[in-house]
Amino acid sequence: MVAPPDNAPPDNDVLWARSVHYSHGGSPRTKSGAGSPGLSGVSVGVRQGEILAVTGPRGSGKTTLLRCLSGHLVPEQGEIWFNSLPVHTMGATARERLRRDRFGWIGPDPLLLPELKVWENAALPLLVSGASHRAAKTAACAWLDRLDIGAFARKRPGSLTRAESQRVALARALVKEPSVVFADEPTAPLHRAERALLLRTLTTAARSHGITVLLATHDEESAAVADRSVELLDGRLAAHAGSGAGGPGDADDGGGPSDETPEGQTACSLSA
Ligand SMILES: Nc1ncnc2c1ncn2[C@@H]1O[C@H](COP(=O)(O)OP(=O)(O)OP(=O)(O)O)[C@@H](O)[C@H]1O
């Protein structure tokens, strides 16, 4: 067993971004705002089991941050850590394996495969990982039941409403019981009542299984389900605040770092 490097994140942070810079198209951001903005020196720590909302207006960099934290994008500068693993130095295959084995993702579009039954869509992450058909079906149907859509397991996605389809996408994100679920505007296509239901379903499932959630949303009401929020503005972290909803961050200082963290780490849970 290799000891984690000295600059690895604090033990209770499952994910950690340190001074991350990312420009879409690779052209660095200029002072005038020209170029292709993404992230400009964002640092954030996410605790084990925490539900963290990443808020901010459209185009502020929420998706880019989630994609960097999940290893889809590699920052031009800065570090991304998952536990003691330096994601920013991993090769494409290792990052792909990490995403497949430890992370779940749900976006604004359910992206279900119309040719497959609902349970097969929910089971896809297990099927592509080599799980047996029977085990994948059992796990997928259990999640569909938990999310109150078990009755649709044998139907095709085409017969579902948008809200039901999003819940199937949620089952697919949870079916491997990942360490972290990245939820990028998962309620964007839904009506208000449906939004509340999906978020309640996501947070209940995550809390009962100890799953960490990063929820990107421009909607304040959606962000209120989180334990803590960080706000992005123009690719920079603007503020952070505890919502009082309860969670790991409430145990001590409301989610910020302690004074005892090594030099350089204090900024990582707070600032751009
Ligand atoms: N593939 C891309 N190529 C070029 N620019 C991009 C690309 N993806 C995002 N951007 C730009 O990067 C900035 C941040 O985009 P990002 O999607 O991360 O923001 P966001 O806060 O998630 O926005 P939204 O709420 O609209 O999804 C925006 O200015 C966007 O136009």
pLDDT digits (tens, 9 = 90+) for 145-200: 999 999 999 999 999 999 999 999 999 999 999 999 999 999 998 999 999 999 99
DSSP string, 209-245: HT-EEEEEES-HHHHTTSSEEEEEETTEEEEEEE-SS
CB of 58 closer than 6 angstroms to any ligand 1 atom: yes
Q: Report the DSSP beta bridge partners of residue 52.
A: 214, 228
Q: What is residue 80's predicted lDDT score, i.e. its pLDDT?
A: 97
- Which ligand 1 atom minimizes the distance to the CA of 216? 22
Specify if 1 maps to a domain: no
Specify if 22 maps to a domain: yes
Bridge pairing between strands 51-55 and 103-106:
unpaired
Spacing, Cα 175 to ligand 1 middle (Å):
28
What's the rounded Cα separation, in Å, for the pair 33 and 37? Answer: 7
The answer, yes or no, to whether residue 257 has pLDDT greater than 90, is no
The answer, yes or no, to whether residue 21 has pLDDT greater than 70, is yes
Which of 91, 107, 99 shows the shortest CA–CA distance to 70? 99
Contact 183, 106 (CB under 8 A): yes
Q: From start to end of the chain, where are the E strands?
A: 13-22, 39-47, 51-55, 77-82, 85-86, 103-106, 180-184, 212-217, 228-233, 236-242
Q: What is residue 189's predicted lDDT score, i.e. its pLDDT?
A: 85
The domain that holds 168 is classified in CATH as 3.40.50.300
- The b/e string for 66-86 (b: 16+ C-beta within 10 A; e otherwise) is bbbbbbbbbbeebbbbbbebb
What would the two tokens of residue 241 be?
């605040």
Q: What is the DSSP letter of 200?
A: H
Q: What is residue 12's predicted lDDT score, i.e. its pLDDT?
A: 76
Specify if 110 maps to a domain: yes
Specify if 79 maps to a domain: yes
What's the rounded Cα separation, in Å, for the pair 40 and 257? Answer: 21
Domain total for the chain? 1
Substitution candidate for ligand 1 out of 63, 70, 231 with most atoms within 8 A of CB: 63
Collapsing DSSP states into helix, strand and coil, what is residue 106?
A: strand
The answer, yes or no, to whether residue 235 has pLDDT greater than 70, is yes
Segment 212-234 mean pLDDT? 95
- The b/e string for 181-194 (b: 16+ C-beta within 10 A; e otherwise) is bbbbbbbbebeeeb
What is the Cβ-side half-sphere exposure of residue 129, based on CA atoms within 13 angstroms?
Answer: 17
Specify if 6 maps to a domain: no
pLDDT, mean over the chain: 84
Bridge pairing between strands 228-233 and 236-242:
antiparallel
Specify if 199 maps to a domain: yes
* CA 49 remoteness from chain centre: 12
Lowest-pLDDT range of 45-49, 75-79, 243-247, 254-258: 254-258
Domain interval for residue 242: 13-269
Q: Report the DSSP beta bridge partners of residue 96.
A: none
Contact 237, 43 (CB under 8 A): yes
Cβ of 180: how many Cβ atoms within 10 Å? 22
| Identity of residue 128 | V
Segment 198-207 mean pLDDT? 95
Specify if 237 maps to a domain: yes
Q: What is residue 42's predicted lDDT score, i.e. its pLDDT?
A: 96
Specify if 2 maps to a domain: no
Q: What is the DSSP letter of 87?
A: G
CB of 166 closer than 6 angstroms to any ligand 1 atom: no
CB of 72 closer than 6 angstroms to any ligand 1 atom: no
Q: What is residue 37's predicted lDDT score, i.e. its pLDDT?
A: 72
The answer, yes or no, to whether residue 88 has pLDDT greater than 80, is yes
Q: What is residue 253's predicted lDDT score, i.e. its pLDDT?
A: 33
Give percent of the chain above pLDDT 90: 76
Q: Report the DSSP beta bridge partners of residue 236.
A: 233
Q: Between 255 and 105, whose confidence is greater?
A: 105
